[in-house]
Amino acid sequence: MSALTVKTIAFQPLKQRLFNQIQSSEISFEWLTNLLAEQTKKITETLTPAEQMKIKRHFLCSTMIDLPFTTGDISWPKVANMLKKQGDNQADTFINAYECASWGFSLRHYLQHDKQDSPRLLLVSIIDANIFDLEFWRYNENWHESGFGITSILLEIDGPITDELITQCASTYNSMAEFATVVRRHATNKENTTLAMPFFPEHIQQMFDKLLAKQTRLPDLHQDWGHCFGADPWLSILSHCMKNPVIEDQQYLACSLALNGYFSMAQVKVTPQTQFILQEVKGHE
Amino acid sequence: MSNIIKHTYLGQLLSVPFTNKPSAALARCMPLSNDNDFAVFANLPCSDAPVLINFIEHYQILNELVLCANELWQAELTILIRISMPGGMRLPASLLAHNVLLMQDIDPEVEKLSGTVTHLLTIDDNFIRYQLEQGHNEIAINLHSLDKNQQVNFSKFVTKLEHFNIGAK
C-alpha cells in the first residue's frame, strides 16, 4: 500500500473566458487568488485543528499563468501577499517550470527535504486559467480542446516513500509513446492499481489502448472536460469516485505528461474517508 | 540560524555569452491567431535591455553552472534556480535532477531551506531571451552554507561565469 494517501481532491472548473473583457493582471490575480483561497478553506475547514497543524507546505503549480510574471506585469511577492491575507495554509511557493508534471516535481522537492517521521499533510494546487483568453490555450494541435480550472490535492504522507513517486524526462522526442511505456513498466509490479491518465483526443487514446492494453485505466474524459493539463489524473479520480463511492481502500497511479516530455507519476491510496469536492463553474463564458 | 555563512555575487551579462559562435534566432513568441491575441501582446510591457542570449544558450549556461556546482559541492547540495516560462524547449537533464528546484521566485524557498541544508546555492538571473521578458541581464548567485570554509569553492564557481562574458557588478 502506498504511503501517500489522498485526503481531498477539489476541482473548481473555470470557463474558457474568465471575464467579459480582458482585465489587468492585478485584477485577474485578485480574482484567481480569491478562488484558490476559497478552495483551500473548503478543504481545510473539514480538518480538526490538530490536522490543520500537520499541513507542512502548499505549492502552487502552473505554467499557463506564468506569462504576466515573465513580462513583469505582476510579481510573485504581490500574488503571494494576496494569498497570505486570506489566512493560514495558503500557497506560498510558485512552481512554474515543469508544465503538466509540476505537481510531481513539487512533491519530490518536499519529500527530499522532509525529515519527519510522523504523518504530515501537503497541499498542491494547480491553476490552469486563460487569463488573457489567448487562442493558443483554448485549442492546441497537441491536445485539442483545453479545460481550465483550479485543482487542489491534500495528501497525507504516513510512512517512508520508496517507489511511489516517479519524476523523469523522456529521452526521446516521441514522448507520448515513451510515457505510456514507462507507465506500463511501473504499473506492472503494482497489483490492484488503476491508472489515472491525462485526457487526450481520440488518436492518442487509441495509442494508450494499444500500449496499455493489459492495465486497468479510468475512462478518458477529454470529451467532457477537454485536456485539463496537470489536473487530469486528479479530476479523473475525483470523477470516478464521485460516481462510484469508495467503500474500501483503492490504489491509483496518477500520471501526467508535459509537452516538453517531463513525467510525473504517483501511486496514491484513496480511502472511504477521502473527500471529493466538485465546485460550480466560474468565469464569463 | 547564526551558523549560516552567506556568500554573494552579483553579475551582469556584458555581451553575447559565446563570442564568435553563431547564435540561432530562437526568439519565440506564442502564435497569435485573433484580434484579442494581438491586442493583449500589444499591451504587455516590454524590456529595453538588449537581447544577448537565446533559450539554448541560457539553458547551456545553467546546465554548465549546475554541473560545476555538483562537482564543487559533491555532498548535500541543493540548488534553486529562477526561471521564466514559456521556455520554448526541453530543459537539460541536470536542471531536472533531484537536487534542483526551478521556480518563478526563489525567495520563499530560500527562507525555508537556508540553514536546513548543508549547501544551498541559488542562481537568480534576469537574462532576457526575447523582448517581452523583463530584466536587465543581471545575475545574482548566493551560497548559504553551514560550512564556514567555502570561500574558495565559491570563488571557483563564480570564476566560471567569466567564460560566458558575465562580469561582476
- Name chain A contacts of B109, Cβ cutoff 8 Å: 93
Place of cell 474517508: A273
pLDDT band at B2 (very low <50, low <70, confident <90, very high): low
Per-residue pLDDT tens digits for A177-217:
999 999 999 998 888 999 999 999 999 999 999 999 999 99
Q: Is B97 on the interface with A (CB under 8 A)?
A: no
Query: Which chain A residue shows the shortest CA-CA distance from B115?
Result: A113
Provide the pLDDT for residue A248. Answer: 97
- Name chain B contacts of A81, Cβ cutoff 8 Å: none
The chain-wide mean pLDDT, for chain B, equals: 92
Q: Do B108 and A169 touch (CB under 8 A)?
A: no
Inform me whether the pLDDT recorded for B25 exceeds 80.
no
pLDDT band at A175 (very low <50, low <70, confident <90, very high): confident
Provide the pLDDT for residue A135. Answer: 92
Query: Which chain A residue shows the shortest CA-CA distance from B85?
Result: A66
Place of cell 553552472: B65
Q: Do A66 and B84 touch (CB under 8 A)?
A: yes
Q: A195: distance to nearest CA of chain B, Å?
A: 24
Provide the pLDDT for residue B27. Answer: 63
Provide the pLDDT for residue A161. Answer: 86
Residue B115 CA to its chain's centroid (Å): 22
Q: Calculate what percentage of chain A has a pLDDT beyond 90.
A: 86
- Residues B6-15, mean pLDDT to the nearest whole number: 96
Identify how many contiguous H helices and E strands chain B contains and give both numbers: 4, 6
Q: Do A260 and B91 touch (CB under 8 A)?
A: yes
Inform me whether the pLDDT recorded for B1 exceeds 60.
no
Q: Do A134 and B40 touch (CB under 8 A)?
A: yes
Q: Do B45 and A132 touch (CB under 8 A)?
A: no
**For residues A251 and A229, what is the distance between their CA atoms, to the nearest angstrom?**
22
Per-residue pLDDT tens digits for A218-258:
999 999 999 999 999 999 999 999 999 999 999 999 999 99
Of B31, B103, B133, the CB nearest to A71: B133
Q: Do B85 and A93 touch (CB under 8 A)?
A: no
Per-residue pLDDT tens digits for B120-159:
999 999 999 988 888 899 999 999 999 999 999 999 999 9
Q: Are the CB atoms for B158 and B9 separated by under 8 Å?
A: yes
- Give alpha helix (H) positions in A128-221: 135-138, 175-188, 202-211
